[in-house]
Structure 1
Amino acid sequence: MSVPAWLARGVFRVQEAAMRRPTFAMLAELERTQWLSRSEMLDYQTGHLNVLLQLALAHSPWHADRLQAAGLADAVRAGAVLPSDLPRLPTMDKRDARDNVERLVWRGVPGGVFPYTTGGSSGEPLIFYFGRARQAADAAGRLRARRWWGVNPGEREVYLWGAPVELNKTDRIKSLRDRLVNQLLLNAFEMSPVRMDDYLQAIRTWNPRAIYGYASSLALLAAHAEARGIRPRLDALRVVSSTGEPLFPHQRELIERVFGVPVSVEYGARDAGLMALQAPDGSLLQMSETHLVEVLDAAGNPAEEGEAVITSLVSAAQPFIRYRTGDVVRRSGRADPGGRGLAVLDAVVGRQTDFIVAADGRIMHALAVIYVLRAIPGVGQFKLIQHAVDRLEVQVVPDARWNDAAREAILHGLRARLGATLVVDLNLLDTIAPEASGKHRYVVSHVPLHGALAQAVA
C-alpha cells in the first residue's frame, strides 16, 4: 500500500538530511540554474571548476602533480582557469583512477567518503570514492528530470533494478523505508516468466507515476507482457525511464506500445555520475551544472562523435578530471527547444549488455554476474562468455593480488547465482581482446532467448 505523496516526500527529506546529503537544496539549485543562458551557464561552470581544481590541488597529490606539470597551478590558486584550459591537462582513465586511488582520494572531504565498485564498459573493475555532494547531485538531477515529465518527489515509482545492497537488505526496516518513500523495487536479476508475471501484477496494483530500470530489462518485461497478451492499465503512469545501456529504437517502440507512455533515457555511470537525461521534447540534456563533457576522437582531438571525456564538478572526494569514460557519444550543436541553458547530446552510442540464462530458466541482467567479478581482489580485467545454461567461460587478467582465494571466490559467487552444477572455465590471460567492432563487452551470452523475448533485447 502506498502513502500520500506529501508524506513520502517528507520521509525522503528526513532520510536525506539524516544521511547529510543536500539533495533537496541541490534540487532547488538545479531548478534555478537550468534556466541560465549559455553564457551564464559557462560562468557557473567556470566558478565550480576552479573550486574543484583548488580542492584537487590541495588534497589530491596525483592531480596536484599534473596541474603543476601543465603549468596551471598558479592559475588554479588565482581561480582563473577556464573550461577551455582543461585540454592542457592529459586525460585520465580507469587504470589511473584505480592504481593511484590513495593519491587521489580526499578522505577529509566534508560529509566523508564512501567506496563504490564499478565494472565499467571494458570489464575492468574500479573501486573509487565519492562524497555527499556527488550523491546529492545524482539524486537531485534525477528528481529534476522527473519533474520535466510531471512526476514530483514522493509520487509512486517502480524500480526494475538490482544491486547487492538492494538485494541483500530485505529486512523489515528496508521494506518499510521503500514503501514510506513510495518506491517499489523489482529485482532485474530474477526475471523468469513466473517472476515477470508477478512483476506485471505488482505494477498494476502499485499504479506508479514512473517506472525506472535497465533498458534491456524493461524491454524484456514489455515483450513478456505482450506475449502474454497483457497491456497494463496504468492511469497514473507518465514516463518509463531507461538507464544502464543504450535503448535501441525497437526497444523504445515496444516499451511505449506496451506501457502506453513515452520512454525517457538516462545516461550516467557509477564512476562518472549522472550526465544526461531526456526531456519530453526528445532532447538529451546534459547535467551542465555538474559535468563538463568533451567529445574526443581516437587522436584526442575534439569531434562531433567520439569518446565522452568528463570533468565532474561534484567529485571533490576523488576528482574525476578529464576522465575517459569509454563511452561513445554524439554531440549536438542545437539549443534546448525548451529554453534551458543545458547542453544537448544527440545520442549515446556506447554500451550493450547481454542477459544471462540460468539452468532453471531464470533470466537475469548481466550485472548479476558482473557484481561477482568486480568485487574480488586480484581481478584486473574480466570478460564472461556464456556458452550454455550450465557452462560459463571466465576470462581474467589478474593483478598482483590474484591468488587461489580469488579463484575460489569466483567459482563460489557464480555458482551461487547460476546454480551449483555450473561448469566454470576460468582462463587467466595477459590481455582481453575487444570485439571485432572495437568495443569491449564484458558479458556475452550465446544462450538464445525465445520468441518475442529475443527480439526485445537484440
Structure 2
Amino acid sequence: MSVPAWFARNVFRLQEAAMHRPTFPMLEELERTQWLSRDDMLDYQTGHLNVLLQTALAHSPWHASRLHTAGLVETVRAGAVLPSDLSRLPTMDKRDARENVEQLVWRDVPGGVFPYTTGGSSGEPLIFHFGRARQAADAAGRLRARRWWGVEPGEREVYLWGAPVELSKTDRIKTLRDRLVNQLLLNAFDMSPACMDEYLEAMRAWNPKAIYGYASSLALLAAHAEARGTRLRLPALRVVSTTGEPLFPHQRELIERVFGVPVSVEYGARDAGLMALQSPDGVLLQMCETHLIEVLDAAGNPVEEGEAVITSLVSAAQPFIRYRTGDVVRHSGRNDPGGRGLTVLDTVVGRQTDFIVAADGRIMHALAVIYVLRAVPGVGQFKLIQHAIDRLEVQVVPDTYWNDEARAAVIRGLQARLGTKLALDIRLLDAIAPEASGKHRYVVSHVPVHGGLAQVGR
C-alpha cells in the first residue's frame, strides 16, 4: 500500500537530512541553474572546477603530482583555471583509480567518505569512494528530471533494480523505508517467467507514476508481457526511465508499446555519476552543474563522436578529473528546445565493449549483429560473446520455431557481417543469466578496439 505523496516527500526530506545529504537544497539549486545562459553556465562550471582542483591539490597527492607536472599549481591556487586548461592534464582511467586509491581518496572529506564498487560489466570492476555531495547530486539530478515529466518527489515509482535474493533484517528495514517514500523495488536479478508475472501484477496494483530500471531488464519484462498477451493498465504512469546501458531503438519501441508512455534515457555510471537525462523534447541534457564532458579519440583529440572523458565537479572525496569512462558518445551543437542552458548530447552510442570487431578490422556497433538474431524465427532470447576476432559464442533461448533452418540462418547472417572464417559456437540454453550487475547485455566483446572509434559502422 502506498502513502500520500506529501507524506512520502517529507519522509524523504527527513531521511536525506538525517544522512547529511543536501539533496533538496541541491534540487532547488538545479531548478535555478538549468535556466542559466551558456555563458553563465560556463562561469558556474569554472568556479566549481577551481574548487575541485584546489581540493585535489590539497588532499589527493596523485592529482597534486599531475597538477605540478602540468604547471597548473599556481593557476589552481589563484582559482583561475578554465575548463579549456584541463587539456594540459593527462587523462586517467580505471587502472589509475584502482592502483592509486590511497593517493586519491580524501578520507576526512566533510560528511564522510563511502566505498562503492562498479558492476564490472566492462571487465574491470572498481572499488572507489564518494562523499555526500556526490550522492546528493545524483539524487537531485534525477528528481529534477522527473519534474520535467510531471513526476514530483514522493509520487509512486517502481524500480526494476538489483536486489538480494534473501532479505536480511537490514534489507527488510530498507523495504519499509522504500514503501514510506513510495518506491516499490522489483528484483532485476531474478527475471524468471514466474517472477515477471508477479512483477506485472505488482505494477498494476501499485499504479506508479514513473518506472525506472535497467534498459535490458525493462525490455525483457515488456517482451514477456507482450508474449503473455498481458495488457498493462497503469493510468497514473507518465514515463519509463531506463539506465545502466544504452537503449537500443527496438527496445525503446517495445517498452513504449507495452507500457503506453514515452521512454526517457538516463546516462550515468557508478564511478562517474549521473551525467545526462532525456527531456520530454527528446534531447539528452547533460548535468552541466556537476560534470564537464570531453569527447575524445584514442589519441586524446576532441572529436564529434568518441569516448566520454569526464570531470566530476562533485567528486571531492575521490576526484575524477579527465576520467576515461569507456563510453562512446556523440556531441551535439543544438540548443535545448525547452530553453535550458544545459548542453545537448546527441546520443550515447555504447561502451567500447558493445562493439564487434570484424576479421578485416572493421568496428561494428552491436546493432549490426543484434539485427541478425532478431530477424531469425525461433530465437526467443540471445546473447553474443566475442572471445576472439574469429570466434563468437551465440547463446540462444529457443522458442517453438527453432529448427535446423533457424540455426543455419544465424550462421549465414553472422558470417555475412563478420566474415566467412568466423567460428560460431551456438549454445541452446533454458535461460540466459544476467551480468553480475543485473543487466541483460545482448553483446559483449573481449576483442580490444584499437585506433579510436572513428571507423565505427552503424
1:236 aligned to 2:248?
A: no
Q: In 2, are the aligned partners of 1:304 and 1:330 still within 8 Å (CA)?
A: yes
SS in 1 for 2:350: coil
Instruction: State the partner residue of 1:397.
Output: none
CA distance, structure 2, for counterparts of residue 260 and residue 433 of structure 1: 33
User: Secondary structure of the equivalent of 2:326?
Assistant: strand
What is the one-letter code of the residue matched to 1:53? L
Residues 170, 222 of structure 1: alpha-carbon distance in 2 compared, 3 angstrom cutoff: farther
Alignment correspondent of 1:82: 82
1:266-317 C-alpha deviation (Å, 9 max, x unpaired): 0000000000000000010000000000000121100000000000000000
User: Aligned equivalents of 1:64 and 1:318: distance in 2?
Assistant: 13
CA 1:174–1:32: 2 relative to 1, 3 Å:
same
Superposed displacement of residue 434, structure 1: 3.0
Instruction: After TM superposition, list the pairs within 5 Å mapping 1:38-117 onto structure 2.
Output: 38-117=38-117
Contact 2:21 2:135 survives alignment (8 Å): yes
- What is residue 401 of structure 1 aligned with on the other side? none
Letter in 1 for 2:276: A
- Look up the equivalent residue of 1:180 and give its one-letter code: L
Which residue number in structure 1 is paired with residue 23 of structure 2?
Answer: 23
Q: TM-score, normalised by structure 2?
A: 0.78
Matches within 5 A, 1:267-306: 267-306=267-306
Tell me if structure 2 keeps the 8 A contact 1:121–1:326: no
Letter in 2 for 1:193: P
Relative distance call for 1:101 and 1:436 in structure 2 (3 A) is: closer
Question: Aligned partners of 2:345, 2:172: CA distance in 1, in Å?
Answer: 42
Change beyond 3 A, Cα 1:82–1:254: same
Q: Tell me the amino acid that sits aligned with residue 57 of structure 2.
A: L
Equivalent residues, number: 374
Matches within 5 A, 1:185-334: 185-334=185-334
Residue 230 of structure 1 and its aligned partner are, at CA, apart by 1.0
* Corresponding residue for residue 434 of structure 1: 446
Kindly tell me: are residues 317 and 16 of structure 1, through their superposed partners in 2, closer, same or farther at Cα, counting changes over 3 Å? same
Distance 2:53 2:329 in 1: 26
Paired AA for residue 273 in structure 2: G
Give the aligned partner of residue 184 of structure 1: 184
* C-alpha separation in 2, matches of 1:167 and 1:338: 43
Give SS of 2:117's match. strand
Whether the aligned pair in 2 keeps the contact of 1:191 and 1:364 (CA below 8 Å) is no
- 2:34 matches 1:34: yes
1:122 deviates by 2.5
- Contact conserved, 1:113 with 1:317, CA < 8 A, in 2? yes
2:376 is aligned to none
Aligned residue runs from structure 1 range 325-404, under 5 A:
325-351=325-351
Query: For the structure 1 residues 433 and 387, does the alpha-carbon distance in structure 2 shift closer, same or farther, using more than 3 Å as the test?
Result: closer
Aligned-pair RMSD on alpha carbons? 2.6
- Per the alignment, residue 143 of structure 2 pairs with 143
Separation of aligned partners in 2, 1:166 and 1:260: 33
Matching of residue 125 in structure 1 with residue 143 in structure 2? no
State whether residues 167 and 187 of structure 1, in contact with CA within 8 Å, keep that contact through their aligned partners in structure 2.
no
1:10-57 Cα offsets, whole Å, 9 max, x none, are 000000011110000000000000000000000000000000000000
Superposed CA deviations along residues 40-96 of structure 1, whole A, max 9, x for unmatched, are 000000000000000000000000000011000000000000001000000000000
- Whether the 8 Å CA contact 1:291–1:311 is kept in 2: the answer is yes
Distance 1:314 1:11, change over 3 A: same
TM-score, with structure 1 as normaliser: 0.78
Label 1:320 to 1:313 Cα distance change in 2 as closer, same or farther (>3 A). same
- Give the superposition deviation at 1:438: 6.3
Distance 2:291 2:157 in 1: 27
Q: Which amino acid aligns with 1:248?
A: F
- C-alpha change, 1:167 and 1:342, in structure 2 (3 Å) is farther
Any idea what SS the aligned residue of 1:135 has?
helix
Whether the aligned pair in 1 keeps the contact of 2:66 and 2:89 (CA below 8 Å) is yes
Alpha-carbon distance in structure 2 between the residues aligned to 1:52 and 1:280: 32
Q: Secondary structure at the match of 1:213?
A: strand
Q: 1:199 to 1:127 in 2, by over 3 A?
A: same
For the Cα contact (< 8 Å) 2:382–2:396, is it kept in 1?
Answer: no
Distance 1:317 1:204, change over 3 A: same
Given that 1:225 and 1:231 are in contact with CA atoms closer than 8 Å, whether structure 2 keeps it comes out as yes
- Equivalent in the alignment of 1:421: none
Cα-to-partner distance string for 1:190-232 (whole Å, 9 max, x where unaligned) = 0111110000000000000000000010000000101111121
How far apart in 2 are the matches of 1:365 and 1:43? 48
Task: State how far apart, in whole Å, the 2-side matches of 1:192 and 1:166 are.
Answer: 16
C-alpha distance 345-171 of structure 1, shift in aligned 2 (>3 A): closer
1:299-343 Cα distance to aligned partner (Å, 9 max, x none): 110000000000000000000000000000000000111000000
Runs of 5+ unmatched residues, structure 1: 355-362, 367-384, 390-416, 419-431, 440-458
Counterpart Cα distance in 2 of 1:166 and 1:114: 24
Looking at structure 1, the residues matched to 445 and 150 of structure 2 have their Cα atoms a distance apart, in angstroms, of 45
The answer to whether the 8 Å contact 2:381/2:396 transfers is: no
CA shift, 1:140, in A, is 0.2
1:118, 1:270 within 8 Å by CA — same for their partners in 2? Answer: yes
Cα separation, partners in 2 of 1:38 and 1:155, compared to 1, 3 Å: same
The gaps in structure 2 that reach 5 residues or longer are 355-365, 367-379, 384-392, 398-431, 434-443, 452-458
Q: 1:283 to 1:387 in 2, by over 3 A?
A: closer
Alignment partner of 2:268: what SS? strand
Residue 156 (str. 1) matches residue 156 (str. 2): yes
Q: Counterparts of 1:365 and 1:273 in 2: how far apart (Å)?
A: 30
Identity %: 83
CA distance in 1 between counterparts of 2:135 and 2:186 reads: 22
Secondary structure in structure 2 of the residue aligned to 1:342? coil
Which position in structure 1 is the counterpart of 2:428? none
Counterpart CA distance in 1 for 2:305 and 2:182 is: 39
